[in-house]
A and B are shown apart, each in its own frame.
Chain A
Amino acid sequence: MTDALEVAGLVVDLPGRGGPVRVVDDVSFDIPAATTVGLIGESGSGKTMTANAVIDLLPSGATTGGSLRWRGEELLRASRARRRQVRGHEIAMIFQDPLAALNPTQTVGRQVGEILRRAGQSPQQVRSRVIELLDRAGIPEPAARLRSYPHEFSGGMRQRAMIALALAGSPALLLADEPTTALDVTVQARILRLLRDIQEDEGLAMLLVSHDLRVVAHVAHQVVVMYAGRVAERGPTSAVLREPAHPYTRALVDSVPAVRTRTALAHPLPGTPATPANRPSGCAFHPRCPIAREVCRVEQPSVRSVGSGRWAACHFAEEA
């Protein structure tokens, strides 16, 4: 299996009041072709910044380091024109809040078709392709909805339009940043299933960014767990969720309430999440970790192999 995207030692610094803040710190993982990788973490863990770095949409003033290899090509050293060419046509993004992410003064058809129009396709070609895309995204009567504005759509329909928009440039990698967080629970499952079907049918690589373990569990083949800007653990989804190799992953799994078995309440994570601007010494998770020892306070654990295809940044991964 070839890797579509190789992220190696990725670093993102954002300007802050007291100097730059390292919001993504030495993050490495791969996205193999035709595979969904789940990127999970609490807010402030750097997961969205990682996705933004991949598509080159970081806030102004941000600086990057490390390596982003896209089909063998180093994106961080590519020209601005080349990076723009990659955006939309090779790597596309679906944003969290579809209402905010769609232009309120343009029709859905116009926005979905813009990338095709700019590529020089005729109005007829654009129109029939947009109808195809809306249909693929599960929008009923797509020909009639072309001229609707985003505010005339329901939340789920907007996210479907956003998906159609992202697919318009025929990308090979789809970044989905919390694609279901802003939606009703009943709609979430349908949008997730749609994303999974599209990923499988088109053979796309997908990076699914979420704070919700259940979302990732259902869709992702592999999972990357981030904490305070660093990778805590990564590996095949089922193995990672069944036997976490990092106490943070363990805590995340335990904090998901089970619906069928009437246990008491799920165990919430103790303490407050560390943020990159306010990172504890040593292992950033040690203040909240049930098995932390003296070494965790002092020494930052490096990511090491803990089994086949499994990696974890914990001094005591075998005990987690």
Chain B
Amino acid sequence: MTRVVVKRLLVGVLVMWGAASLIFVIVRAAPGDPATLLLGPDAAPDQIRELTAKLGLDRPLPVQYVSYLGDVVRLRFGDSYLFNRPAMAEVFERMPATAELMLASTAIAVIAGLTLGLIAGGRPGKVVDRVVSAGTIALQSFPTFWSGIMLILIFALALRLLPSAGSGTPAHLVLPAITLALPFTATVARLTRTSVAETMREQYINTARSKGLTERQVLLGHALRNSLIPVVTIIGLHMGGLMGGAVVVENVFAWPGVGTLVVDAVANRDYTVVQAATFLVAGIVMIFNLAADLVYSQLDPRIRLESAA
């Protein structure tokens, strides 16, 4: 077990290096430069040159890259060009709001997705199954920005039940969390459905039936746990993916999280903030994937054995 974790962590270091390098290239490849944007359209060329030098952006790219990597290794991400304070502090400040949104969405997706998937997968081919299957395909294909706006139109503007934007009260969390959870719920439901339906064809399900158990007891007592293995992996992978969705959702609902921060930073070419946020998000995604692997091996004693050997 320890060996597996160490191996995954080593791979993780490589992934982090890749992510840091990629974002370094991408922000610099995008048109527009930070000094011009910071100083405004009326700035003199001298002022721009001076600020560019101060930010260290006048050096050749390989030099910038090496000093950037050196900083990243020491977990130093520089100051935000815009706010003149450490970029990572800026990101950390926004993290709780994003975490809150992601946790709420994950809870919704896991509870609703597992329930729907179990109901559908326990009766493959029946009406419930078809309804759930069709419904989840629809949910998966709605783009987040569109479903977010639809939810605002219905629940905030027409019914006046919930606030349309901002944060502060639990009511503010409802719409963005649901919006972010919709495609995730559909993914969990579809995967659970397939997995449960497959498990229900296993021979040991017939063994369970031969003990005189009800279908419900068979489903919950024997099929559920064996079906969960692929589902847990997907939940782990998608929790990382939620970060991407959070960027869109936060902007639709003016949610003060990392997502809105990154979009603002990109607009202002605030390289250090973009780099810091990307690094942190990559790290979080990696940790979720590792956690999924570990839970997975706990669910199936056969995997536990293999990693011990």
Binds A, one of B7-15, B99-107, B209-217: B209-217
Size of the A side of the interface (Cβ < 8 Å), in residues, is 31
Instruction: Report A106 CB to chain B, min CB distance, Å.
Output: 8
Q: Which of B209, B217, B225, B305 contacts A87 (CB 8 A)?
A: B209
Instruction: Report B220 CB to chain A, min CB distance, Å.
Output: 12
Q: What residues of chain B lie closer than 8 Å to A152, measured between beta carbons?
A: 305
Q: Which of A114-156 contact B (CB under 8 A)?
A: 114-115, 118, 149, 151-152
Instruction: Report B162 CB to chain A, min CB distance, Å.
Output: 41
Centre residue among A95, A103, A104, A152 by max chain B CB count within 10 A: A103
Once bound together, how far apart are the Cα atoms of A93 and B221, in whole Å? 19
Find out whether the CB atom of A105 lies under 8 angstroms from the CB atom of B207.
Answer: no
Contact with B along A71-110 (1 / 0, CB 8 A): 0000000000000111111001101010011111110000
Q: What residues of chain B lie closer than 8 Å to A97, measured between beta carbons?
A: 203
Contact with A along B258-301 (1 / 0, CB 8 A): 00000000000000000000000000000000000000000111
Q: What residues of chain A lie closer than 8 Å to B209, measured between beta carbons?
A: 57, 87
Contact with B along A143-176 (1 / 0, CB 8 A): 0000001011000000000100110110000000
A240 CB–B CB distance under 8 Å: no
A55 CB–B CB distance under 8 Å: yes
Find out whether the CB atom of A103 lies under 8 angstroms from the CB atom of B212.
Answer: no
Q: What residues of chain A lie closer than 8 Å to B251, measured between beta carbons?
A: none
B208 CB–A CB distance under 8 Å: yes
Once bound together, how far apart are the Cα atoms of A92 and B305, in whole Å? 32
Find out whether the CB atom of A104 lies under 8 angstroms from the CB atom of B207.
Answer: no
Q: What residues of chain A lie closer than 8 Å to B92, measured between beta carbons?
A: none
Contact with A along B62-85 (1 / 0, CB 8 A): 000000000000000000000000
CB-based A-B contact count at 8 angstroms: 73
Find out whether the CB atom of A103 lies under 8 angstroms from the CB atom of B217.
Answer: no
Once bound together, how far apart are the Cα atoms of A167 and B276, in whole Å? 63
Find out whether the CB atom of A88 lies under 8 angstroms from the CB atom of B203.
Answer: no
B226 CB–A CB distance under 8 Å: yes
Q: What residues of chain B lie closer than 8 Å to A165, measured between beta carbons?
A: 207, 211
Q: What residues of chain B lie closer than 8 Å to A149, measured between beta carbons?
A: 301-302
Find out whether the CB atom of B214 lies under 8 angstroms from the CB atom of A95.
Answer: no
Q: What residues of chain B lie closer than 8 Å to A169, measured between beta carbons?
A: 211-212
Instruction: Report B195 CB to chain A, min CB distance, Å.
Output: 13
Q: What residues of chain A lie closer than 8 Å to B212, measured between beta carbons?
A: 84-89, 115, 118, 169
Q: What residues of chain A lie closer than 8 Å to B302, measured between beta carbons?
A: 104, 149, 151
Once bound together, how far apart are the Cα atoms of A152 and B299, in whole Å? 16
Find out whether the CB atom of B217 lies under 8 angstroms from the CB atom of A118.
Answer: yes
Find out whether the CB atom of B213 lies under 8 angstroms from the CB atom of A104.
Answer: no
B204 CB–A CB distance under 8 Å: yes
> Given that A85-B212, A89-B212, A118-B213 are contacting pairs, would A105 and B206 also be in contact in the complex, using a CB cutoff of 8 Å?
no
Centre residue among B212, B222, B305 by max chain A CB count within 10 A: B212
Find out whether the CB atom of B300 lies under 8 angstroms from the CB atom of A57.
Answer: no
Once bound together, how far apart are the Cα atoms of A111 and B225, in whole Å? 14
Q: Which of B188-224 contact A (CB under 8 A)?
A: 202-204, 206-214, 217, 221-222
Find out whether the CB atom of B204 lies under 8 angstroms from the CB atom of A102.
Answer: yes
Find out whether the CB atom of B208 lies under 8 angstroms from the CB atom of A103.
Answer: yes
Q: What residues of chain B lie closer than 8 Å to A86, measured between beta carbons?
A: 212
Q: What residues of chain B lie closer than 8 Å to A115, measured between beta carbons?
A: 211-212
Instruction: Report A50 CB to chain B, min CB distance, Å.
Output: 15
Find out whether the CB atom of B305 lies under 8 angstroms from the CB atom of A101.
Answer: no
Q: What residues of chain A lie closer than 8 Å to B221, measured between beta carbons?
A: 114
Closest 9 CB pairs of A and B: A100-B203, A88-B212, A87-B212, A88-B211, A103-B204, A115-B211, A93-B210, A101-B203, A101-B207
Q: Can you identify 19 A-B contacts, CB atoms within 8 angstroms?
A: A87-B210, A88-B210, A89-B212, A92-B210, A93-B207, A93-B210, A95-B206, A97-B203, A100-B204, A104-B301, A105-B299, A106-B222, A111-B207, A114-B211, A115-B212, A118-B213, A149-B302, A151-B302, A166-B210
